[in-house]
Structure 1
Amino acid sequence: MKRAGLCLISLVLAACARQEPPAVTGYVEAEFVRVGAPLAGRLIELPAERGAQVAAGTPLFVLEHESEAAAVVEAQARLAKAEALVRDLSRGQRRDELAATRAGLDAARAALKQSESELKRERDLAASGFLSSAALVAAQAKRDADRAAVREAEARLRIAGQGGREDALAAAEAEAAAARAALEQMQWRLVQKSVSAPVAARVEDTLYRIGEWVSAGSPVVTLLEPDALKLRFFVPEPLLSRVRPGTVVQVECDGCGAPFRATVRRVASEAEFTPPVIYSKDNRQRLLFLVEASPSAEDAKRLRPGLPVQVTVAEAS
């Protein structure tokens, strides 16, 4: 009888030892890429289709952009005008203007030569007593005026060959830089009205229809990358010691086929549901900690966002 009792106890212990590892429930969550435009506008093109696989750079949608295109043309014209002014000030006067300035200098020199000859003749007459001193002073004043006119014409010729003043040239260059920056800004605004896929992914959803007004920053297309699915499940406090980043768990779900494995990436540092009572032994059973795990890229193809899963946590080794 005693031996039978010992055998019964041994069978119970063996059955306990063969207990299945504990399992917890969870669900599949997706980290979507919500694609929008930084500018507002009416939706005029939507080539993206729900369920389609798109490569990075594939056009997704286009907003109206007539105003931005016109602004680019205007900015280009302003830049061309500013750059032309810079070139004009840098080169100085044109060939015909320089020729006119040289002709003016030649005329001033000829006038000076004539006034000097007149002054010499007047001095000779004054020395012989045939000319008054007032007439001599007038002739000398005319010679001095013609000499000043020559110096002025020479200065004008030097300036004509040097181009615009440094301050005027600097102002023109600053104006050209401002026009160039304005053009870049207008071109950026135009580009933002045509949005392409930032990553290779599946089009999960489109949130607007053609003709609707899209606010700035509002998502228009929702993308799902192949590796953007993760498992979220809650582990009770007694099992927390068995789960840490890098732990491999087994996952099952309806319609997913054979069970597969996932690797724990994150364990929450705080409990999700904390009873407002003293942590007795019974209450600790009610503490749940969020755990996130990542399946392989191949296994992720079998999953859909929101799908319930059952996660088996292996015994601690």
Structure 2
Amino acid sequence: MHQRPLPRAAGLSLSVLLALSLLTACSPRRDGVFSGYVETEPVRVASPFGGRLVKLAVRRGDQVASGAALFSLEQDSEAANASEAQARLQQAEAQAADLSKGARPDELAARRAALEQARAALAQSSSDLKRQRDLADAHFVSPATLTAIQARRDADAARVQQLEAELRVARLGGRDDSRQAAQAQSQAARAAVAQSQWALKQKAVNAPLAARVDDTLYREGEWVPPGAPVVSLLSPASIKLRFYVPEAQRARLAPGSVVQARCDACGGPISATVRFVATQAEYTPPVIYSQDERSKLVFMVEAWPQPADAAKLPPGMPVEVRLVATNAASQ
């Protein structure tokens, strides 16, 4: 077979090149060292409602505290709904209060005056009846006349009873069923107010945690669909290591295992704790170039460093991961 000539190298003889080639080919593979990279799980902050983006309070790279303002969407519709719900609540509470009260003072005064008038009429008819009975005993009044006077007196007495009952009712509030219905309507109105105020607050979104702004996905003036992320936040707790182990060494790793990672920008080994080990094998990702692990099928493993160490791991940085210890479940 025809052999291609070896390239010349300044300062290196042919024998030195051959020696280096043999050393590289025969170097031992490092067991327990896996290739991977730094990955992030950003928090994508969105509003459940859509609208035009009127204020973007942060820029990419900003550090924000928990509760800091991120962005605001237009609130005209939600503000109008909140005002309407508040007005309906006031109406329902006024109706409930009205049913709990009796008649107005002037109405009560009119009913009392009518009752006094009826009592006076009863007193007059009672007096006439007594006088006519005396005349009837002396045979000066016919029985028919006495009967008519008796009927008028009974009518006056019934009128007094009617007006007394109406006055008692006027002093009372609405019926129990009506008052309960009014109270239920007030509760429903209060719930509608709370819902409308919640919807209004959702249009002005604050940071759910202290983090760095990884990206902003919309610009002011653009329409944001409901649920679409506007700001992406990256906190130290969202940085993890993702690496791949061959099938022969998968059993050495389990949730709780401790690994150490090294990278060009780390400045030293960084400890991380394994939280996830894939149960299904996959092919080696094309972005992983390992000189030690040649297996085609590997298992994905994810480990999380401490937040203080996570700041030393730039996202996307290749890392070498070495197994340090295992938990009781993996032994």
TM-score when scaled to structure 1? 0.84
* Counterpart contact for 2:216–2:231, Cα < 8 Å: yes
Shift in CA distance, 128/248, structure 1 to aligned 2, threshold 3 Å: closer
1:250-278 deviation digits (Å, cap 9, x = unpaired): 3222333334333333222221239xxxx
Q: CA deviation at 1:196?
A: 0.7
Q: 1:79 pairs with 74, 82, 89, which one?
A: 89
Do the aligned partners of 2:136 and 2:143 also contact (CA within 8 Å) in 1? Answer: yes
Partner of residue 249, structure 1: 259
- Identity level (%): 57
Mapped contact 2:259–2:325 kept (Cα < 8 A): no
Is the deviation greater in 242-251 or in 225-234?
Answer: 242-251
| Alpha-carbon distance, 1:21 to partner | 4.4
Q: 1:66 to 1:240 in 2, by over 3 A?
A: same
Q: 1:112 to 1:22 in 2, by over 3 A?
A: closer
Deviations 1:91-110 (A, max 9, x none): 21222222222222111110
1:214-240 deviation line (CA, Å, top 9, x unaligned): 111111111111121111111112232
> Do the aligned partners of residues 271 and 20 (structure 1) sit closer, same or farther apart at CA in structure 2, a change above 3 Å counting?
closer
Partner of 1:70: 80
Q: Which residue is 2:221 aligned to?
A: 211
SS in 2 for 1:305: coil
Following TM superposition, by how much is the alpha carbon of 1:285 offset from its aligned partner in structure 2, in angstroms?
Answer: 4.2
Is the 8 Å Cα contact of residues 42 and 238 (structure 2) preserved in structure 1?
yes
Matched, 1:170 2:180: yes
Q: Residue 227 of structure 1 aligns to a residue in which SS?
A: helix
In the alignment, which of 98, 106, 129 is matched to residue 88 of structure 1?
A: 98
Deviations 1:18-75 (A, max 9, x none): 8754533211111111111111111111102211111111111111111211221221
Change (3 A) 1:156 1:55: same
Q: Distance in 1 between matches of 2:120 and 2:253?
A: 106
Of the candidates 44, 47, 54, which is equivalent to residue 37 of structure 1? 47
Unaligned runs of 5+ in 1: 1-15, 275-283
Q: What is the CA-CA distance between 1:308 and the residue it aligns to?
A: 1.9
Equivalent positions of 1:118-133 (< 5 A) are: 118-133=128-143
Question: How many angstroms apart in 2 are the aligned matches of 1:267 and 1:77?
Answer: 56
**Counterpart check, 1:307 vs 2:314:** no
Cα distance, 1:297–1:171 mapped onto 2, change above 3 Å: closer
Query: RMSD of aligned C-alpha atoms?
Result: 2.5
1:49 to 56, 59, 64: 59
Q: Displacement, 1:315? A: 10
Q: Distance in 1 between matches of 2:234 and 2:29?
A: 39
1:101 aligns with 2:72: no
Q: Please give the per-residue CA displacement for 1:191-233, whole angstroms capped at 9, x wherever unaligned.
A: 1111111111111111111111111111111111112111111
- Aligned equivalent of 2:148: 138
Check conservation: 1:242, 1:314, Cα contact below 8 A.
no
Q: For 1:154 and 1:314, how far apart are their aligned partners in 2? A: 94
The answer for unaligned runs of 5 or more in structure 2 is 1-25, 285-293
| One-letter identity of the residue aligned with 2:176 | E
Question: What is the match of residue 116 of structure 1?
Answer: 126
CA distance in 2, matches of 1:177, 1:244: 53
Confirm or deny: 8 A CA contact 1:249 1:311 kept in the other structure. Answer: yes
Structure 2 counterpart of 1:221, one-letter code: V
Structure 2 counterpart of 1:75, one-letter code: A
Contact 1:21 1:313 in 2 (8 A): no
Q: Determine helix, strand or coil for the equivalent of 1:256.
A: coil
* TM-score (normalised: structure 2): 0.81
For residues 245 and 315 of structure 1, do their structure 2 counterparts lie closer, same or farther at Cα, with a shift above 3 Å needed?
closer
> 1:114 Cα shift?
0.5
Structure 1, 231-240 or 126-135: larger mean CA deviation: 126-135
Report if aligned partners of 2:53, 2:220 keep a CA contact under 8 Å in 1: yes
Runs of 4+ aligned structure 1 residues displaced above 4 Å come to 16-22, 313-317
CA deviations on 1:126-184 (whole Å, 9 max, x unpaired) are 33333333222221111111000000011112112222111221221121111111111
Contact (CA 8 Å) 1:86, 1:169: kept in 2 or not?
Answer: yes
